[in-house]
Structure 1
């Protein structure tokens, strides 16, 4: 389980210009600029509250399923990757596809690379989000070791292109400073309200749970499903 950066520290880092958290690589002849703190702050200061970007809840499964899992995870968290690659497929097969459970995925940010990955995953909208997320988690051990900010940015960009996102749209998503700021604020609100201190963390029908094996998940989900009948 990975401990996350306290919300107050994250907010301070953003307010001070991001530093290690939000600083982005520059444009190169073969690369692209990713959103930095200055761009995010400039975009947000120019927009009114009514124009703030909408943050969409990413939901897998039947919206009316009787049991709800809210997953808090970061794309750079190895434990989150393990859950996504090994445990979630079994939950999906036995609980989500059967209409018993729905999964709500909520981003957690404790480094800039996780934020960049989230920008790519969300670029395709709800229709592509979980497919792109799967690709990001499946290849996490390689793209996080790309060796430089620009290398990691390029690897994430390749994932977006492989998922069928057009180059212009992907570039726009990855340079959307206003969306970045909205996502940070959304994360802060969620993590504070649900007292999230580590990833992955889960809220099942309003009750907090830490990471578990599939067998333990199945036991908990069966209990909640029976209680909902």
Structure 2
């Protein structure tokens, strides 16, 4: 179910302008660290319907210039694709209570899933500008759960940083380390192992020897591959990419776009009770 690839292709035909705030991933054909794809029956079962849906939604957003026109108003119950969104949310949101790469209640009505790379400047912009507002307005009030997925697309520095972020999570400091990484744009040598250890120290990670061991271990590699594989199955084409209550949203969009998507998903969740 390559929802983001099909969404991008359809939108490009109708609106050639680039979607703002996205860092495109490199071609996966020979890209470093790309895991072998495995069957995903639950995702594939809704692929055809969702592909058409998100293509139309993306084209509508592009035509409206990101202003929110030509889309259902927040709280609308007339969205004929809501059942599809619900199924996507169920198949992609993990809702694990002890997930160190998640913020918010496991039973929150809306889940935002983010696919991101630590060398992506737009991912950093989202973290610095939109994430704090989303946490204050929606996570802290119990409306939203945020789940991070490592989706390294720019080679070994990105993969190493992704493994390091997982290692930080093993000591309960994922989000502190995540925010340190995104405090400014870091690329290449700035993500060398020793630099990451320095950032871990700044993020309050106590056992740096364990951090280094975990970062280079097979469990970190497997966790990153799991996230990356999920993104490839969905057809993620750029970072950051999001699912908000099952609704695809690509790029570091304005806060208003996230607010509208969250309110729509919240209203839909409320209507099911």
- TM (norm. structure 2) is 0.61
Out of 212, 226, 229, the residue aligned to residue 171 of structure 1 is 212
2 CA distance for matches of 1:157 and 1:215? Answer: 36
| Cα 1:206–1:9 shift into 2, 3 Å | farther
Deviation of the 1:102 alpha carbon: 0.4
Moved runs in structure 1, 4+ residues, more than 6 A?
11-15
Out of 175, 183, 200, the residue aligned to residue 130 of structure 1 is 175
2 CA distance for matches of 1:59 and 1:72? Answer: 13
Deviation of the 1:160 alpha carbon: 1.0
After TM superposition, the structure 1 = structure 2 runs for residues 28-47 of structure 1, keeping only pairs within 5 Å, are none
2 CA distance for matches of 1:57 and 1:203? Answer: 19
| Matched length | 183
User: What is the CA RMSD across the aligned residues, in angstroms?
Assistant: 2.4
| Cα 1:159–1:191 shift into 2, 3 Å | same
Deviation of the 1:207 alpha carbon: 2.0
State whether structure 2 residue 230 is matched by structure 1 residue 190.
yes
- TM (norm. structure 1) is 0.71
| Cα 1:158–1:189 shift into 2, 3 Å | same
Deviation of the 1:129 alpha carbon: 0.8
State whether structure 2 residue 268 is matched by structure 1 residue 200.
no
- SS of equivalent residue, structure 2 residue 159: helix
After TM superposition, the structure 1 = structure 2 runs for residues 1-229 of structure 1, keeping only pairs within 5 Å, are 1-10=22-31, 58-110=101-153, 111-125=155-169, 127-138=172-183, 140-141=184-185, 143-144=186-187, 148=189, 152-162=192-202, 163-176=204-217, 178-211=218-251, 212-229=253-270
Structure 2 gap segments, 5+ residues each: 1-21, 37-98
Deviation of the 1:64 alpha carbon: 0.4
Structure 1 gap segments, 5+ residues each: 16-55
* Contact in 2 for aligned 1:70/1:106 (Cα 8 Å): yes
1 CA distance for matches of 2:34 and 2:240? Answer: 23
| Cα 1:130–1:57 shift into 2, 3 Å | closer
1 CA distance for matches of 2:182 and 2:160? Answer: 13
Give deviations 1:161-204, integer Å, cap 9, x for gaps: 2222323212212322x235414531342112222111000011
